[in-house]
């Protein structure tokens, strides 16, 4: 039987927080919305969107958005570099499909072998039971 590959763990430098950009982006957008509402003419609605993130009283104008999203941009760059460093990220889809087909073939061969062993075991137990207490060598 071929040696099995060890399970690969994620690098310690890559965490779920590195991949979570939506919560941080929603906070920045909430601050921009708060800034837009504050600069809206009187009579415009200023109620918050139900279920939307709170801006914590902070406001951003459009010119402040690039600075506010720098942390998010660096977080995404770090995550992208970490994902590219994972093993087999350079393999093509065709290579992956070929490996999948090879593994499926291997699984079918192993299932056939297990079925044959099961049948042989059943036959052995029937022969042993039919022979009574006698043991033949």
Question: CA–CA separation, 72 vs 66, rounded Å?
Answer: 10
- Asked, for residue 110, whether it belongs to a domain, the answer is yes
pLDDT value of position 43? 53
Mark whether 36 and 79 lie in a shared domain: yes
Mark whether 72 and 114 lie in a shared domain: no
pLDDT value of position 134? 55
Mark whether 27 and 72 lie in a shared domain: yes
Mark whether 71 and 117 lie in a shared domain: no
Q: Which residues of 86-98 are buried (b: 16+ CB within 10 A; e: fewer)?
A: eeeeeeeeeeeee
C-alpha closest to that of 100 among 1, 108, 2 = 108
pLDDT value of position 50? 45
**Which pTM does this prediction carry?**
0.47
Q: Residue 109 belongs to what domain range?
A: 91-131
Total structural domains within the chain: 2
Mark whether 76 and 110 lie in a shared domain: no
pLDDT value of position 108? 97
pLDDT value of position 113? 96
Full pLDDT tens readout for the chain, 137 residues: 444 555 566 677 777 777 788 888 888 888 888 888 777 766 545 455 444 455 566 888 888 888 888 988 988 898 888 888 887 788 899 999 999 999 999 999 999 999 999 999 888 888 877 765 555 55
């Amino acid at each position: 039987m071929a040696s099995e590959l060890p399970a690969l763990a994620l690098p310690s430098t890559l965490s779920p927080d590195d991949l979570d950009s939506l919560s941080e982006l929603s906070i920045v957008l909430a601050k921009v919305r708060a800034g837009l509402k504050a600069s809206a003419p009187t009579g415009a609605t200023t109620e918050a969107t139900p279920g939307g993130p709170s801006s914590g009283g902070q406001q951003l104008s459009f010119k402040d958005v690039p600075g506010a999203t720098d942390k998010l941009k660096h977080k995404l760059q770090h995550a992208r570099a970490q994902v590219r460093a994972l093993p087999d990220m350079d393999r093509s889809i065709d290579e992956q499909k070929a490996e999948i087909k090879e593994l499926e073939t291997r699984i079918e061969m192993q299932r056939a072998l297990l079925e044959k062993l099961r049948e042989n075991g059943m036959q052995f137990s029937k022969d042993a039971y039919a022979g009574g207490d006698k043991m033949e060598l």
